[in-house]
Amino acid sequence: MKRPAAPLIKARRALPALSLFGIFATLTVAPAPAQASVFGPDQRVPLPQSLRHAGARLGVFSDAGSHSVCTAFCVAADAVVTAAHCLYRTSGEQPLRLSDLYFKLHGTLQAVKIAGTETGAAEANVHSGSTRLNVHPPIDATRDWAVVRLAQPACKAGAFKMSRKPVAEVMKLAGNGRVFNIAYHRDLPKWQPMLDTGCTVKRDFDDADWHTIRRDFSNPDQLLLHTCDTGAASSGSPLLVDGPDGPEVVGINVGTYVQSKVIMLNGEVLHRFKSDDVANTGVNALAFAPALDAFLAADTLTDRRDIVRLQDALAARGLYAGPRDGRFGPVLKTAIEGFERASHMPLSGLATHALLQALTGESQVVTGKIPSARTTAATGR
């Protein structure tokens, strides 16, 4: 008999009746009270006065129907970042309705919907690493990110700067005690963002070495294995370092990497032991920073009728064969990327006004409504 280790990942999110489900490779975990993944002593404390400004840039994404709650943080006046599974859940699970989700900034009562919700175009205003995250090896943890445009500016206290450091540098900073986490935790009695400064980021752990771990993940090079203490609702929270102008984001907390030991005989499981947390998982900011930049600069469509026009225009070019329903999804995104690739445009997969204009011949540059660079130089305008 032997005891092989089976990898799994638990996504940190709150579900009905304050329950938490383990999302995993091989072992079914029954619903349990809101839990925390704590390494050593629990070091989560209320934010000190010196970090209250950072706490004012955090909030929660929640859904009243399922009671799902995740942390989200501001990256622009009208945009926030969270974990993709907070919006879409994982492969095999029923995704949440984006039109039912809302963002609420810390310390406010204002609930803000996703842009395009009122006109049926909420899907076009979310850009994520994946909408069908795989929790079986290879686990998609490094694609578990999403940036969301809000229906109106909600981040009145400013936004976090993204610190684009390679994983090796983040690990070095953590080794010097400079990486910290601010998040909501549903297992704690007071509903407020909490600080944890006891964060290490490394590759090898007592129960699992990096050679074994990396085989369980897709794109493991952008994976941050960390020991910040986390609890239900902390998914989507920022991993931070101090920068010259305040805290900067180096990654997103998304879940927990767990090993479950089993006793097997002749290929059959005889006994399952309690799962052991190896480390929490995060996405390095470099994994999504270019996509974030493109999304923040884009003029995404917020009306379902415009998305229908986009579908029609792509279909006319033989690039789109899906329904003309005004819904933004993987098929439409692939068609957009096909047009961008063929047109030598930056690859974004985003449904934007500029793209629609280019497809329909309504672009100002195409129709001559904007003077060319040569004309501008000559006239001095």
10 confidence band (pLDDT: 50, 70, 90): very low
Give the model confidence (pLDDT) of 66-103 as tens digits.
Answer: 888 999 999 999 999 999 999 999 888 888 899 999 99
Q: Which residues of 174-196 are buried (b: 16+ CB within 10 A; e: fewer)?
A: beeeebbbbbbbbbbeeeebbbb
Mean pLDDT for all residues in the chain:
85
- Exposed e or buried b per residue across 202-219, where buried means at least 16 C-beta atoms within 10 angstroms of its C-beta: ebebeebeeeebeebbeb
Question: pLDDT value at position 92?
Answer: 85
Res. 34 pLDDT band, cuts 50 70 90: low
Q: Which of 23-32, 138-147, 192-201, 203-212 has the lowest mean pLDDT?
A: 23-32
More confident residue, 306 or 28: 306
Spell out a b/e string for 284-307, using b for 16 or more CB atoms within 10 Å of the CB, else e.
bbbbbeebbebbeebebbbbbebb
Reported as a pLDDT band with limits 50, 70 and 90, residue 362 is low
**Which DSSP state fits 41?**
S
Residue 189 has pLDDT above 50, yes or no: yes
Percent of the chain at pLDDT > 70 equals: 86
Q: Is the pLDDT of residue 7 over 80?
A: no
Ordered DSSP codes for 228-246: --EETT-TTPEEEEEETTE
d(CA 309, CA 317): 13
Q: Which residues are within 8 A (CB) of 372 and not within 5 positions of it... i.e. 6 or more apart?
A: none
Which tokens sit at 82?
């969270």
pLDDT tens digits, residue range 285-330? 999 999 999 999 999 999 999 999 999 999 999 999 999 999 999 9
Instruction: State the CB neighbour count (10 A cutoff) for residue 2.
Output: 8
Question: Which domains are delineated in the chain?
Answer: 5-294 (2.40.10.10), 298-379 (1.10.101)
Beta strands in 266-301 (DSSP E): 268-272, 276-284
Structure tokens at 184: 């909501």
Residues 20 and 271: their CA atoms lie apart, in Å, by: 23
Reported pTM: 0.84
- The percent of residues above 90 in pLDDT, for the chain, comes to 72
Whether 264 shows a pLDDT value over 80: the answer reads no
Q: Quick one: pLDDT at residue 381?
A: 32
- pLDDT average, residue stretch 205-210: 88
